[in-house]
Chain A
Amino acid sequence: MRKLGSKTLSILGRLLASKGSALALIFLVSITLAAIFADFLPLNPVAQKLANALKGPSATNWFGTDELGRDILARVIFGARTSLVTAGGAVAIAALVGVPIGLVAGFFGGWRDAALMRFVDVLLALPAILFAMAMIAVLGRSQAAALIAVGLTGIPSFARITRAQVLTLRKRDFVTAVEAFGGTATYNMFRTILPNSWSPIFVQVVVLCSVAILLEAALSFLGVGVPPPTPSWGEMLRTGKSYLHEAPYYAVLPGIVLTLTILSFDVLGRALADLLEGRRDAVIAPKAEEVTS
């Protein structure tokens, strides 16, 4: 445990040594803290003051006010909670389903591999945003539906990355040794191979966070994501778009926070891929380019 701790610290140190990833990390930590402790901040995302509607940024409302006179900064901070929770849950679903699929497919090969990977191919047959929209059409519009829909689109990348990792480890001596000593397949997969596969999976978690936040915001922007009373960044951009003439800051400022969050996860993912695996220009996030075109 101590050894793991020092390793984590040294990776953290090397991340902070680069200006880009240090900034990304600082931004993400502060936005996460703001989201967690939003209730203790002197901000109210639901208080309406109609007389104060669509006022530009000022000393009291740093990001201005929306069409109902609510404070946009407060809604951005509470929206961070929505975004981070949805994205985090989605990535957890994707990893919890995708990693075992990749483990089994890669470990056993043969028909199990063929069947599981065909299933994954079907998930990839549609652009992620369409697949998520179809899921929401079935589940109905809710935060849970958005979380599940985004999560399902992330399964293929975890399955593929884990499978590739298993294939490189499968014939290594320490794996065959466990087999020779009578270790069960389950033991071998989860106790021998999985602990040696953490770094690509972890990199994928960080990268997929950026994709999930983008996808969730896109769904809310389209009006099929997290339903309205809950503040969400995509929804703010959707409403802000109707007030581009009167209140350009309304769509622009939440968009900056959204973009910085996505970029920060992306920068961190690249830096980690470089540090943990020496992949410099890795093809990261296979579905990212199609997420919101």
Chain B
Amino acid sequence: MIGFVLRRLLQLVPVLLLASTAIWAMIYAVPGGPIGAIAGDNASPEQIAAATAQFGLDRPVLVQYADWLWNAIRGDFGMSIRGRAPVLELIGQRLPATLQLAVAATIVSLVIGIPVAIASALRPGSWLDRILSGWSAMALGVPTFWLGILLILVFAVELRWLPSASAYVPIWKDPLGAIRNLALPALTLGIYVSGILARFLRASLVSELRADYVRTARSKGLPERQIVGVHILRNALLPFITIVGLMMANFIGGAVVTEAVFTYPGIGRLLIQAISTRDYPLIQGCIVVILVLYIAINMAVDVLYAYIDPRIDYR
């Protein structure tokens, strides 16, 4: 098992290295180079020279790259140009907000997705089943930013139950306040993916329902509730774990749009600010951190899957 985990970790190295090199090279290739952004568009030649020397941009490309990579491995992405603070510190301030939203959204999508999937798998062709297939088709088509706007209109503008802009309130400090602030963004993300989740789970439930062990269980006279609840669900949930993991990874990296709709102070909004102010060290830092989290979660899911499912050979 340890060998399996180590090997998976080793496989990650080239992907991470290639992707971070690509990110670095992209920024290096910016027309006018990062220096234009640092010194400002109206900088005099002297100012440009000073900034070039200060940030070490006059050194050979490979030296600059090696230096950046070595620092990045140690978690040092340099100073934010606009924020005048270490990039990692700025990201660290935003990360808890993003993680809290990711967990909340995952819970919402499971709470909606699992019961719907079970109900529709047990009665294929029923009205619930037909609603589900329409729902999952819609889920892919309705943009989250529009869904979020509709939710704000109903719950914040009309009913005035919830705030239209969500602040980050740590759940251990003020659980009720945290839930009030998380409700709309988590619902937006949750509604969006619950259709996809439900469809995957439904498909694996339906194939399990046809399995021999189900017939055996029925012929033994086991109550249907026990067959579904204990035997089938356990097997069907296995492939489902992968989907849930992928989804969480996406919430961390890809909740940029939802964070923007609710002006939620997560890492996605930090990245948008960084892009609009051309703060290149911050852009690099945000993307590399998201990338690492994204890949780490994917790997954790793989390992967990191999651990839970004894049929997977992890030697």
The CA of A182 and the CA of B138, in the complex, are separated in Å by 51
**Cross-chain contact B250 with A293 (CB below 8 angstroms):** yes
**Cross-chain contact B258 with A293 (CB below 8 angstroms):** yes
**Cross-chain contact B143 with A258 (CB below 8 angstroms):** yes
Interface size range of chain B in the complex: 35 or more
Q: Is the interface of A mostly helix, strand, loop or mixed?
A: helix
The CA of A98 and the CA of B129, in the complex, are separated in Å by 36
User: B14: CB under 8 A from chain A?
Assistant: yes
The CA of A157 and the CA of B97, in the complex, are separated in Å by 32
Interface size range of chain A in the complex: 35 or more
Kindly provide the distance from the CB of B264 to the nearest chain A CB, expressed in whole angstroms.
13
CB contacts (< 8 Å) of B280 on chain A: these are 137
Kindly provide the distance from the CB of B292 to the nearest chain A CB, expressed in whole angstroms.
10
The CA of A137 and the CA of B28, in the complex, are separated in Å by 11
A125-B294 contact, Cβ under 8 Å, with A290-B254, A293-B258 = yes
**Cross-chain contact A138 with B193 (CB below 8 angstroms):** no
User: B2: CB under 8 A from chain A?
Assistant: no
Kindly provide the distance from the CB of B48 to the nearest chain A CB, expressed in whole angstroms.
19
The CA of A266 and the CA of B141, in the complex, are separated in Å by 7
**Cross-chain contact B26 with A126 (CB below 8 angstroms):** no
Neighbour of B261 across the interface among A121, A241, A281, CB < 8 A: A241
CB contacts (< 8 Å) of B295 on chain A: these are 125
The CA of A191 and the CA of B256, in the complex, are separated in Å by 43
Interface residues of A in 99-138 (CB under 8 A from B): 118, 121-122, 125-130, 133-138
**Cross-chain contact B157 with A244 (CB below 8 angstroms):** yes
CB contacts (< 8 Å) of B150 on chain A: these are 252, 255
**Cross-chain contact B283 with A140 (CB below 8 angstroms):** no
**Cross-chain contact A244 with B257 (CB below 8 angstroms):** no
CB contacts (< 8 Å) of A136 on chain B: these are 275
**Cross-chain contact B283 with A248 (CB below 8 angstroms):** no
Residues of B within 8 A of A (CB): 14-15, 18-19, 22-23, 26-27, 29-31, 137-138, 140-146, 149-150, 152-153, 157, 164, 189, 192-193, 196, 199, 203, 247, 250-251, 253-258, 260-261, 271-272, 275-276, 278, 280, 283, 287, 290-291, 294-295
Q: Considering the complex of A and B, which 8 residue pairs feature the smallest CB-CB distances, nearest first?
A: A127-B254, A263-B141, A255-B146, A290-B250, A125-B19, A262-B141, A127-B253, A137-B275
Residues of A within 8 A of B (CB): 118, 121-122, 125-130, 133-138, 140, 210, 214, 217-218, 221-224, 234, 237, 240-241, 244-245, 248, 251-252, 255, 258-259, 262-263, 266-267, 270, 281, 285, 288-293
